[in-house]
């Protein structure tokens, strides 16, 4: 089963359901990508910071070599890390990431965070993480406008077809749209019933920017990271509202959560090692929840954010 697509403001079609590469282990990544392609996935959401782009590229190369898929049938996403925000650093790191993937262009390349950190030479440490070469959290003076201008040049030079942003607020989007020559095609944010970010989602969609949700299952993704509010929060899979809807429709709680997003035009990027769940996660567009049921899920909002630098002991108060 293939995912339906959404038309981006750049004119390209993006699958509504993709496979996220955050926390996919290096030793299993190539196989996971390969099997996900066989299962019908066409969008793969990666990033410099995930540290598995070489392995992801190997999985894609294997699928292409075996004739399972063509490059033009895939939608490959990556992200610019915080350490490369200076204008003259953007193209070189994008070129490196393309080489790691073994491809000629990205379908979408995003600014990962609205945070500019001191440059770290990839020869010194890659991925660089949050600390500088001095092992401290050090900011750079690169503005978002400087970074975005360099991102636009990637489109001009055909290193990427579309560009977007991640973890941006509505205020930052408003500012970006004032000077953007190439508008952001997507906004990727943490989004689940405990953090609906309603105003931000509505604003982005009104501006023609497609929203992609990460961490669609809420606290589940953050338990192994020992993020305190994730450990203390009841799992969404076990919430009565989600469980009762899963029983009503003969679906899994995960499918209900993903349908809640996709039915409202929000793209999702779940992942799974399990072949059954891998297929189930793709089956989240061919059926509908009732309007009152969508509202009931949205009413679970607690403003609970799990992916916050402060939660990892980093004083970067962006949210």
Structure tokens of 275? 């072949």
- Active-site entry in 34, 50, 109, 119: 50
Task: Please report, for residues 9, 21, 304, 305, 307, the alpha-carbon distance to residue 311 in angstroms, rounded to integers and kept in the order given.
Answer: 34, 21, 12, 9, 7
Structure tokens of 99? 């080489």
Give CA–CA dist 267/15, Å, rounded.
8
Asked whether residue 85 is marked as a ligand-binding residue, the answer is: no
Task: Please report, for residues 171, 174, 203, the alpha-carbon distance to residue 177 in angstroms, rounded to integers and kept in the order given.
Answer: 10, 5, 12
Give CA–CA dist 80/113, Å, rounded.
8
Supply the DSSP symbol for 72. Answer: G
Is-contact 308 189, C-beta < 8 A?
no
179 is catalytic: no
Give CA–CA dist 154/110, Å, rounded.
11
Is-contact 257 192, C-beta < 8 A?
yes
> HEC string of 202-257?
HHHHHCCCEEEEECCCHHHHHCCCCCHHHHCCCCHHHCHHHHHHHHHHCCCHHHHH
Give CA–CA dist 106/155, Å, rounded.
10
Residues that constitute the known binding site for substrate? 112
Active site residues: 50
């Amino acid at each position: 089963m293939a995912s339906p697509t959404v038309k981006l403001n750049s004119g390209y079609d993006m699958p509504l359901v993709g496979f996220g590469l955050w926390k996919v282990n290096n030793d299993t990544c190539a196989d996971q990508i390969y099997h996900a392609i066989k299962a019908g996935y066409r969008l793969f959401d990666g990033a410099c910071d995930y540290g598995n782009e070489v392995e992801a590229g190997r999985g894609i190369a294997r699928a292409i070599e075996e004739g399972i898929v063509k490059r033009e049938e895939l939608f490959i996403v990556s992200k610019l890390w915080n350490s490369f925000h200076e204008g003259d650093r953007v193209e070189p790191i994008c070129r490196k990431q393309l080489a790691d993937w073994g491809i000629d262009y990205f379908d979408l390349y995003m600014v990962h965070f609205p945070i500019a950190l001191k440059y770290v030479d990839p020869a010194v440490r890659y991925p660089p993480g949050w600390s500088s070469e001095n092992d401290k959290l050090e900011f750079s003076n690169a503005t978002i406008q400087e970074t975005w201008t360099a991102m636009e040049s990637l489109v001009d030079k055909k290193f990427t077809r579309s560009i977007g942003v991640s973890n941006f607020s509505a205020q930052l989007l408003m500012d970006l749209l004032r000077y953007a020559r190439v508008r952001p095609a997507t906004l990727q944010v943490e989004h689940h019933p405990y953090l609906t970010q309603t105003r931000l989602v509505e604003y982005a969609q009104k501006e023609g920017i497609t929203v992609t949700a990460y961490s669609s299952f809420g606290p589940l993704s953050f338990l192994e990271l020992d993020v305190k509010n994730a450990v203390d929060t009841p799992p969404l899979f076990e919430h009565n509202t989600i469980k009762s809807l899963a029983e009503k429709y003969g679906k899994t709680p995960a499918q209900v959560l993903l349908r809640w997003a996709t039915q409202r035009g929000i793209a999702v990027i779940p992942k799974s090692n399990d072949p059954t769940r891998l297929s189930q996660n793709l089956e989240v567009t061919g059926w509908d929840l009732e309007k009152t049921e969508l509202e009931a899920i949205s009413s679970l909002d607690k403003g609970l954010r799990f992916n916050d630098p402060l939660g990892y002991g980093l004083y970067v108060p962006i949210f």
